[in-house]
Structure 1
Amino acid sequence: MPRLTRNNAGQALGQVAAPFVELFRHGSLSVEYYQPDKVDGQSPHPRDELYVIVSGHGWFVCGDSRQPFEPGEVLFVAAGVEHRFEEFSDDFATWVFFYGPEGGEAVEG
């Protein structure tokens, strides 16, 4: 397994044309590094995901909510939910962890 460091992720991202790069996969888990340039153009994903903010700040829109975000913060997005980062700083970067089945995990309780 490659070392999942910010520096290694940034180098791998520099080798692709997309604003994200997958760095690790095991079972249903996929680990990506995401660093959009000025605009977050993503659309809803078919699986649940977690973001762990590496650097930068701005606003995170998820469904009907809009909240500020900062480095070290963990953000959850259920499968299929519209979401995006807005008004983020130039140094914004985040880890993205996709997991579980398409359609998301069942909610218990």
Structure 2
Amino acid sequence: MRVIAQAGAYHVADGATYAEHLRVPCLSLGTYSLPAGAHDPQQPHTEDEIYIVLDGRGRLWTPDEVVDVARGSVVFVPAGEEHRFVDIAQDLTVLVVFGPAEGTATPR
């Protein structure tokens, strides 16, 4: 067992910030922090993702859909799907779970 005490802590130095807290072969976990009004620069990943919004408010965009997200939102994004947070109205703090670990999957 491992307690991941720092997971979910909002931290922004200058713009969007991702802090990885755990990496094992089958998954990785990190906190993604985006200040209000920020641009989300992320590109599609080769891994499936689950976003768990801990705080803040904005929208999650994909080419086919845009959904409002706020505290308590849980969203699945399949590997390879273009996506990004937009219209960030309040600082966002998001737990991100990658399966398998980020950067380890072969592109589909």
Q: What interval of TM-score do these two structures reach, taking the shorter chain for normalisation?
A: 0.7 to 0.9
Give the structure 2 partner of residue 42 of structure 1. Answer: 42
Deviation digits for residues 35-63 of structure 1, max 9, x if unmatched?
12411110100110000001011111123
Task: Could you tell me which runs of 5 or more consecutive residues in structure 2 were left unpaired when the two chains were aligned.
Answer: none
Whether 2:23 is the aligned partner of 1:19: answer: no
Alignment check: 8 A CA contact 1:79 1:102 kept: no
Correspondence for 1:30: 28
Structure with greater proportional helix content: 1
- The 2-side partners of 1:89 and 1:97 are apart by 23
Judged with a 3 Å threshold, the aligned counterparts in structure 2 of structure 1 residues 24 and 82 are, in CA distance, closer, same or farther, namely same
Q: Which amino acid aligns with 2:81?
A: V
What CA distance in whole angstroms lies between the structure 2 residues aligned with 1:47 and 1:57? 25
Match of 1:89, SS? strand
Q: Which has the higher strand share?
A: 2
Q: TM-score, normalising length from structure 1?
A: 0.77
CA contact (8 A) 2:57 2:92 kept: yes
Percent identity, aligned pairs only?
Answer: 31
Runs of 4+, deviation exceeding 4 Å = none
Cα deviation, residue 18, structure 1: 6.5
Output aligned runs, 1:98-109, within 5 Å: 98-100=98-100, 101-103=105-107
Report the Cα offset of residue 2 of structure 1: 5.6
Q: For this pair of structures, how many residues does the alignment match? A: 100
Unaligned runs of 5+ in 1: 105-109
